[in-house]
Amino acid sequence: MTPGRLRNLDALVRWSVFAAAVGLFLVLILLPLVSLNSYAVREGLGIFWSRLREPGALGALRLTAVVALATTVVNGLIGTAMAFVLTRYRFPGRRAINALVDIPLAIPTVVTGFALLLLYGPLGPFGEFLGERNIQLMFSFPGLLLGHVFVTFPFMVRAVGAVLESAPRSGEDAARTLGAKEWQVFLLVTIPSIKEGLVAGSFLTFSRSLGEFGASIMVSGNLVGRTQTAPLYIFSRFNTGDVEGASAIAILLALASFLILLLLQFVQAGRGMKEGRA
């Protein structure tokens, strides 16, 4: 084979890889999103609005936002604490715990929900104890929150942990020698230094919580207007044959996720530019 033909073959291979990658992306990722739009508005925007105004719909969206926000706050606190423990403390079993943090990513979320049900449900050991005191965790907001916190737990730990790992600690020492008390060091130096990790972790946690389905359906009981989140609402609507109703919420949910992604990109690009100028 001559060098020229070799080069042609090379170009052909490169072109086919490019075409395959882009083509598959279009078919696998973009096409479903487009179909979502066409379904929702096929009957006209009027139907879209009326579906949105149905009593369960807006409630489901609001609940989803509230749960996602609460999950982000809770994991912002315990996840950050955990990240500190894993990066700054040395104790026996640290590596084991470090490995276990990622378990929620590996376990199917339905299994997670099921496990929580077994533990806190009416028949579980905790559930019985709580039930005698008239506290019901499952099929209520706290249960939903518990499931979401479990499922999204690794995101905050990893995002904050990565920043803590790489950030030099001399800034904290500098503050100490300048007369700062430990709480001032934490508030004025440590927290600002892990801000990037907190932001990234929050975005990940929030968006993951928005779409959470498996654990939610197990622990929530899917009670319309009380524990039905948007993904559960979509599923219920579809099951009862109300494709337009499902589509209306689905579009909003997809749009919200898309906006969050965009916001995250924007925040990160802004930071990159700032560092670039330094």
Partner 1 sequence: MTTHLSAERIRKSFGEKTVLDGVSISVESGELMALLGPSGCGKSTLLRVVAGLLPHDAGSVRIEGKDMENTPARERGVGFVFQDYALFPRMTVVENISFGLRIRGMEAGERNRKAGAMIDLVGLSEEADRPVDRLSGGQRQRVALARALAVEPKLLLLDEPLSALDVKVRERLRREIRTIQKKVGITAVIVTHDQEEAMELGDRIAVMNEGRIEQVAPPRDIYQEPATEFVARFVGDVNVLPGRMYRGYAYSGSLAIRMAGDRPPTEGSWVKVILRPEDISVHPPGIPEAGQSPAKVESVSFQGTHLRATLATDEGYSLTALLLRSHAMAGKLAGGDEVRVEALRGSVLPDPFGKPEPEYYL
Contacts with partner 1, residue ranges (CB under 8 A): 168, 170-171, 173-181, 184, 188-189, 192-193, 274-275, 277-278
- HSE value, Cβ hemisphere, 13 Å, CA-based, for 147: 38
Least gap, CB of 91 to partner 1 (angstroms): 14
Contact predicate 76/270, CB 8 Å: no
Residue 113: strand, helix, or coil: helix
Output 176 or 226, the one with its CB closest to partner 1: 176
Output 82 or 175, the one with its CB closest to partner 1: 175
Output 29 or 278, the one with its CB closest to partner 1: 278
Least gap, CB of 172 to partner 1 (angstroms): 9
Output 241 or 276, the one with its CB closest to partner 1: 276
Least gap, CB of 228 to partner 1 (angstroms): 43
Least gap, CB of 168 to partner 1 (angstroms): 6
Output 106 or 278, the one with its CB closest to partner 1: 278
Least gap, CB of 278 to partner 1 (angstroms): 4
Contact predicate 79/157, CB 8 Å: yes
Residue 69, Cα to own-chain centre: how many angstroms?
10
Burial 224-262 (b: 16+ CB within 10 A, else e): eeebbbbbbbbbbbeeeeebbbbbbbbbbbbebeeebee
Amino acid sitting at position 137: L
CB count within 10 Å of CB 101 equals: 17
Length of the chain: 278
Output 142 or 171, the one with its CB closest to partner 1: 171
Least gap, CB of 62 to partner 1 (angstroms): 35
Per the listing, tokens 């989803």 go with: 64
Per the listing, tokens 């800034």 go with: 171
Least Cα distance to 235 among 29, 38, 64 occurs for 64
